Amino acid sequence: MNKLKTPRWGDILQSNMPWLILAVLCVVFSFFTDHFFSLRNIVNILNQNSYVIIAAMGISLIMMSGSLDLSTGYQMSMVGVVSGLLLTRLALPVPLVIFLAILLGIAMNMANALLVHRMNLTLLMVTVGTMNIYQGLSYTISDSMVISGFPAAFKFLGQGYIGPVPFPIILTAILFVIMNIFLTRTYMGRYVYALGGNAEASRLAGINVLGVKLMIAGITGAFVALSTLMLISRLGTAQSSVGPGTEFTVITGVLVGGVSIRGGEGRLSGVVAGILIMAILSNGMQMANMGVYAQFIVKGAIMLLAIGFDVFQMKRRQLAQSARRREKERTAKE
């Protein structure tokens, strides 16, 4: 009779490493200021970074499937200025603007996916081009102007409360539950991981690779658009410079959260922890009176460390697999 395999402490520690790092950071920064662990500061961190977490939940699908998108910030720029103009100049109803913004986000991501398919290039290479296109379009449409004067109903997305809890935190929690169920309980979620593990093997297994990539692009586009709407709603303005740069914070957070740069693995809870690590680093360094430039240095170093650790893990797994293969061959010969 087979015994149930007891998980090793090393495996448990590794799978929850982002949350352990987050806890250590909280303890460290609590020594710099008495206000770090205050309820107000914690709620502010969650509220201000809700849009980043939502964008990361979408981008994590792309990274889990083995790709990398550099155009996210410029998509946010496009969605922001288009939504702002629809709200102010055309005075369209808020629900319609939200719907159109989501459609725009989906369209831009699907355009990236189709270009990858048609040109037989990687998503990274394609988005190096499309990020410039989206940036140029954004500045052309907005005429480099700041767009303001949003209706109160729209501002609720980023500034509203339901009881004592900010609406962005509630929306983020709901979307997390939905996305987590999608990744862990549905076939399509498993296909995302399968694609990242080996796209050719997935195709040979009968998975519609293009269909899955378009599905990932659509979901990512919707999440990026929602995150943009929350951001410009909280700021009360939209302009072309809002959005670019977010992609590097998101990518770093997703990598720190345990998603492999090669794809095929990662958990959504780890992604949330990774984004919160980046948020707490910024918040803690601000409270410790560390400059913005120091934050850039730390974030860049963290990204390099996350990539380095991922490569180390990959090499270790390859060595373990080679050792097992040699052992099987030796046993077969005997």
pLDDT tens track for 97-141: 999 999 999 999 999 999 999 999 999 999 999 999 999 999 999
**Least confident among 87-96, 200-209, 237-246, 257-266:** 257-266
Greater pLDDT, 38 or 329: 38
**Based on the number of CB atoms within 10 Å of its own CB, is 32 exposed (0-12), middle (13-18) or buried (19 or more)?**
middle
User: Please, which pLDDT band fits residue 296 given cuts at 50, 70 and 90?
Assistant: confident
Q: What is the DSSP letter of 145?
A: P
- Give the C-alpha separation, 176 to 49, whole Å: 14
pLDDT at 76: 97
Q: Is the pLDDT assigned to residue 334 strictly greater than 70?
A: no
**Least confident among 32-46, 100-114, 223-237, 268-282:** 32-46
What tokens does 51 get?
């849009």
Residue with tokens 């889990």: 64
Q: Is the pLDDT assigned to residue 289 strictly greater than 60?
A: yes
pLDDT at 31: 78
Greater pLDDT, 175 or 333: 175
Q: Is 263 left (phi over 0), alpha (psi -120 to 50) or beta?
A: left
Q: What type of residue is 2? A: N
**Least confident among 50-54, 157-161, 189-193, 310-314:** 310-314
pLDDT at 14: 63
- CB under 8 A, 24+ apart: contacts of 206-210: 210/117
**CB distance 169 to 43 below 8 Å:** yes
- Give the C-alpha separation, 130 to 30, whole Å: 42
pLDDT at 231: 96
In terms of Cα–Cα distance, which of 101, 142, 89 is closest to 226? 101
Alpha helices in the chain (DSSP H): 9-15, 17-30, 39-48, 50-64, 72-88, 94-119, 123-142, 152-159, 167-185, 187-197, 199-204, 209-235, 246-256, 268-287, 292-333
Mean pLDDT in residue range 225-250: 94
Report in angstroms the alpha-carbon separations of 60 from 63, 86, 197: 5, 29, 14
Report in angstroms the alpha-carbon separations of 189 from 139, 144, 181, 269, 281: 36, 40, 9, 15, 31
User: Please, which pLDDT band fits residue 271 given cuts at 50, 70 and 90?
Assistant: very high
**CB distance 176 to 56 below 8 Å:** no
pLDDT at 2: 46
3-state secondary structure of 162: strand
pLDDT at 1: 43
User: Please, which pLDDT band fits residue 308 given cuts at 50, 70 and 90?
Assistant: confident
- pTM of the entire predicted model: 0.89
pLDDT tens track for 43-80: 999 999 999 999 999 999 999 999 999 999 999 999 99
Report in angstroms the alpha-carbon separations of 67 from 55, 59, 70, 213, 283: 16, 10, 10, 10, 30
Contacts of 149 (CB under 8 A, 6+ apart): 88
pLDDT at 12: 62
Mean pLDDT (the chain) is 88
% of the chain surpassing 90 pLDDT: 60
Q: What type of residue is 28? A: V
- Give the C-alpha separation, 66 to 327, whole Å: 30
